[in-house]
């Protein structure tokens, strides 16, 4: 059996989409996976026969019984995702969908994902809360948990310093982070990301927008990173989504040695509190008091823990564990099928 991992080929961007998928592919190669290259393209007018030919070309080396870990979504049209899974299943391959994002969890009306997820042999989710929510939609596929995205960075970008200021840094989509517009807390915050005409509140220092490599270099390593999404008035249940997903910006912060502050009801808060990598709060109104009460020793010990934890993310431990578990689950399935004959 050969093992394959999809690799999405796209142009450079300042968001984390290509970074997350690239890291997964690189880590998978280290444990024996081979890349399947999928180009992002405009496919609205593509015929079904042309689409099948495209997919067969991408997967020409795949044989019956092979395992394909498909990084979902590819951000081609949904018909590409669905046809890819169906075609490879017809050819006898085993399909694990490694979920980066789920529109069904953002918008419960996006029911097409239910059928797609149920076509896969295994889903790689962001943890128990995501799994329970997916099951509530009638998804019955076996699931494997990957609680956190790994984050590959050059060694020189990791902070070995143990100093930590009572201040914040934010890196991400400024325009969907309404809390920055209303920021009037005493705790200062530096913001990295595209904001266009988005106005920022008091004590917000806007630092500009950078590519991923430049962001790693420019972002301060001696502050707390904050991950805090808001639902938008014009649509977009971003806060609700954090009840189920593992935000990639959390991995960015931790990988460079930055402790985090998250919403207490977010799925990721459980991991943060379990490993003592930061703090979970109910409201941003708690920020100033939290910062005020932290002692010098608490700050130092927190920074030391995060610095050590960053090694796990650079190593790719969460991805490796999940992919190995996928292989184990498939083996158990095959054994059970053989015993039933």
319 three-state secondary structure: helix
Q: pTM above the 0.85 mark? A: yes
The mean pLDDT of the chain is 92
**CA 188 to each of CA 22, 159, 167, 177, 184: distance values in angstroms, whole numbers, following the listed order:** 33, 21, 5, 16, 9
Q: How far apart are CA 95 and CA 116, in angstroms?
A: 11
108 or 265: which leads in pLDDT? 265
Give ∠ CA 165-170-173 in degrees, rounded to 5.
Answer: 180
Q: Is the dihedral of CA 323, 325, 326, 327 positive or negative?
A: positive
Look at residue 156 and tell me whether its pLDDT is greater than 80: no
Percentage of the chain beyond pLDDT 70 is: 94
Please, what is the angle between helix 296-315 and helix 317-340, to 10°?
50
Would you state the pLDDT for residue 1?
Answer: 85
How many CB atoms sit inside 10 A of residue 156's CB?
Answer: 7
Beta-carbon count within 10 A of 139 CB? 20
Q: What is the rounded CA–CA span in Å between residue 193 and residue 215?
A: 9
Q: What pLDDT is recorded for position 158?
A: 66
pLDDT confidence of 122, banded at 50, 70, 90? Answer: very high
SS3 263: strand
Backbone angles phi, psi at 36, to 5 degrees: -110, 120
**Res. 258: pLDDT tops 90:** yes
Instruction: Decide which of 295 and 158 is more confident.
Output: 295
Is pLDDT at 17 greater than 80 in this prediction?
no
Residue 213 has a pLDDT of 86
Mean pLDDT within 120-131: 98
Query: Reading across the β-sheet that carries 122-125, which strands appear in turn?
Result: 34-39, 3-9, 67-72, 94-99, 122-125, 142-145
Reported confidence tier of residue 284, pLDDT bands at 50, 70, 90: very high
d(CA 134, CA 130): 6
Q: Which of 16-25, 127-136, 215-224 is most confident?
A: 127-136
Alpha-carbon distance 305 to 285, whole Å? 26
In sequence order, what are the residues at sequence separation of 6 or more whose Cβ sits closer than 8 angstroms to the Cβ of residue 130? 99, 102, 105, 244, 245, 267
> What is the number of residues in the chain?
341
Of the candidate ranges 36-45, 116-125, 265-274, the one whose mean pLDDT is the lowest = 36-45
**Does pLDDT of 107 surpass 90?**
no
């Amino acid at each position: 059996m050969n093992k394959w991992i999809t690799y999405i080929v796209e142009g450079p961007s300042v968001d984390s989409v290509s970074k997350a998928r690239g890291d997964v592919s690189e880590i998978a190669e280290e444990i024996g996976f081979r890349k399947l290259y999928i180009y992002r393209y405009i496919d609205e007018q593509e015929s079904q026969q042309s689409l099948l030919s495209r997919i067969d070309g991408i997967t020409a080396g795949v044989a019956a019984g092979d395992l394909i870990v498909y990084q979902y979504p590819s951000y081609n049209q949904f018909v590409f995702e669905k046809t890819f899974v169906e075609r490879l299943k017809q050819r006898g391959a085993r399909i694990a969908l490694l979920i980066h994002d789920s529109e069904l969890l953002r918008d419960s009306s996006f029911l097409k994902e239910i059928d797609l997820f149920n076509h896969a042999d295994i889903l790689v989710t962001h943890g128990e809360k995501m799994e329970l929510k997916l099951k509530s939609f009638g998804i019955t596929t076996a699931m494997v948990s990957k609680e956190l995205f790994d984050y590959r960075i050059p060694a020189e970008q990791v902070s070995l310093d143990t100093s930590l200021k009572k201040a914040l840094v934010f890196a991400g989509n400024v325009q969907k982070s309404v809390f920055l517009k209303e920021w009037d807390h005493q705790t200062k915050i530096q913001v990295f990301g595209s904001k266009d005409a988005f106005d920022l509140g008091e004590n917000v220092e806007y630092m500009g927008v950078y590519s991923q490599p430049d962001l790693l270099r420019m972002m301060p390593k001696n502050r707390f990173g904050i991950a805090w999404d808001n639902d938008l008035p014009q649509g977009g249940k971003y806060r609700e989504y954090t009840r189920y997903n593992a935000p990639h910006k959390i991995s960015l912060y931790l990988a460079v040695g930055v402790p985090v502050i998250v919403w207490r009801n977010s799925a990721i808060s459980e991991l943060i509190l379990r490993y003592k990598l930061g703090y979970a709060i109910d409201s941003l109104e708690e920020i100033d008091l939290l910062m005020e009460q932290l002692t010098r020793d608490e700050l130092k010990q927190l920074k030391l823990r995060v610095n050590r934890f960053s090694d796990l993310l650079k190593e790719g431990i969460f991805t490796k564990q999940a992919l190995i578990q996928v292989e184990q689950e498939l083996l158990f399935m095959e054994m059970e099928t053989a015993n039933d004959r």
